[in-house]
Each structure stands twice: as C-alpha cells, then as structure tokens.
A and B are shown apart, each in its own frame.
Chain A
Amino acid sequence: AQSVSQHNHHVILSEAASLELGCNYSYGGTVNLFWYVQYPGQHLQLLLKYFSGDPLVKGIKGFEAEFIKSKFSFNLRKPSVQWSDTAEYFCAVILYNQGGKLIFGQGTELSVKP
C-alpha cells in the first residue's frame, strides 16, 4: 500500500538552528507533494507544494523543500528557525490514479526553544 514516512517524530531545536525534516513516500507513479503545518490548537495550513518543474520549491515563512525523485523524498528545510515555528509538520502526497485523497505522514512535532 502507498504510504508516507516521516523520519522524525519529535525534533527539539534552539532558535536560529537549521531545520531539516525528512519525508519519503512509496509510490512509483506521478505524485503531487505537500507540506502542511498545524500550530497548536489550529487547523492545517499549507506551507508549500510541488506539482512539477523546479524540484526546489519555496513556501511561506522561509520554508523550502526539495523533491528528489530517485529517492522518493521531499524533505523540508529552513535555515534558521524561530520560536513561532513550534508546531506539527505533515508531509502528504496525492496519487494521480487514486482521486484526490491526501495520504499523510505521521507528522513531526517541532519544538523550538527560545
């Protein structure tokens, strides 16, 4: 079955540290890729997305992600995190042959210490 795997369940960083969250998916066909963020007590917000073209995509709040097709990966990065980045981050994919359902990873909880 198709799945999305996020390597880190909980990441703790100090402010100004660099961030990289891993995401791998298992599907050989065409996919659309997303990162969503969920701040405490809030709903999911779109950080960035990749449909096609330049595999390095930039999102909101200084986040970026790189799609590496050969590795089935879509890792999220930020050069310098802030306390306000404390949230849960979800990687998700849409499989072209299975309608529009999003398949989510387990989520990574990021805690940024001031």
Chain B
Amino acid sequence: DSGVTQTPKHLITATGQRVTLRCSPRSGDLSVYWYQQSLDQGLQFLIQYYNGEERAKGNILERFSAQQFPDLHSELNLSSLELGDSALYFCASSVGTADTQYFGPGTRLTVL
C-alpha cells in the first residue's frame, strides 16, 4: 500500500458524459501527478500540482482539467468523453518536485 488513495476504482460511462476522478496523496506530500495508461500510448503524464498550484502540464486534452484543493487532494475532470478516453488513470504523489513518486491503485475508466 503506497498511501495514495484513488476513487472510484472502476467507472463505466457513456460517450459525451463527464466524470470526476479523485486522489488523496500520501500524508505530507505536496505534489500530485496524474497519468494515463493505455495500451496504445503507454504511460503518459497529464498534469502536476504542487501545493495547490499547477506546476507542469503534459499531454492533457482541453476536455480534461484538474485541480488540487487546500487539503491537497486532487480531482481530475474528464468531459465530453470519447471511446478513446478509456484507460487506467493513475495518481501519484511526492514530497516535492523531482522526488520519488508513489502511485495510487488507479481508476479504470471505460467509455461505452
């Protein structure tokens, strides 16, 4: 158990819908990262927050957005969902930036 929690574990929804994925970092960690894992793209970095502020952005679609709240938990919002958004979404956390990242169990999103 890494100490990073993610909910829900599984999510099945339809195209065009909007979902919210939630992540709670390890106690004491200020950075939260979101990654997408799919068969064709592998593991791709989406976005990083550090102590509430966006720190780095990767291959994140405009339909996707994220935020980190004062209690340091983070949410990833995916809207206008397409079939190709079906993937595993991982959250990771670290103490600072460029530190070791510890991963949560992931949310498996299926878009039908």
Using A44-B90, A102-B33 as known contacts, say yes or no to A96 and B98 having CB atoms under 8 A apart: yes
Does residue B74 face the partner (Cβ distance < 8 Å to A)?
A: no
**List of B residues within 8 angstroms of A106 by Cβ:** 42
Does residue A84 face the partner (Cβ distance < 8 Å to B)?
A: no
B105 touches A100 (CB 8 A): no
Of the four ranges (under 10, 10 to 19, 20 to 34, 35 or more), the interface on chain B belongs to: 20 to 34
**List of B residues within 8 angstroms of A74 by Cβ:** none
Does residue B56 face the partner (Cβ distance < 8 Å to A)?
A: yes
Does residue A98 face the partner (Cβ distance < 8 Å to B)?
A: yes
Q: How many A residues, CB 8 Å from partner?
A: 23
Using A43-B90, A43-B105, A44-B90 as known contacts, say yes or no to A34 and B100 having CB atoms under 8 A apart: yes
**List of A residues within 8 angstroms of B48 by Cβ:** 99-101
A-B contact count (CB 8 A): 59
> How far, in whole Å, are A32 and B56 apart by their CA atoms in the complex?
17
Residue among A92, A94, A107 having the largest count of chain B Cβ atoms under 10 Å: A94
**List of A residues within 8 angstroms of B105 by Cβ:** 42-43
Q: B36 → chain A, closest Cβ, in Å?
A: 11
Whose C-beta in chain A lies nearest to the C-beta of B94? A100
The residue from A43, A100, A105, A107 contacting B33, defined by CB atoms under 8 A apart: A100
**List of B residues within 8 angstroms of A18 by Cβ:** none
Does residue A104 face the partner (Cβ distance < 8 Å to B)?
A: yes
Using A32-B98, A106-B42 as known contacts, say yes or no to A100 and B55 having CB atoms under 8 A apart: yes
Ordered by A's residue number, 22 sampled pairs between the chains whose C-beta atoms are within 8 Å are A36-B103, A42-B105, A44-B90, A44-B92, A45-B2, A92-B43, A94-B98, A98-B56, A99-B56, A100-B31, A100-B55, A100-B56, A100-B98, A100-B99, A100-B101, A101-B48, A101-B56, A102-B43, A102-B45, A102-B101, A103-B45, A104-B44
Q: Which residues of A contact B (CB under 8 A)?
A: 32, 34, 36, 42-46, 49, 90, 92, 94, 96, 98-107
Q: Which residues of B contact A (CB under 8 A)?
A: 2, 31, 33, 35, 42-45, 48, 50, 55-56, 58, 90, 92, 94, 96-106
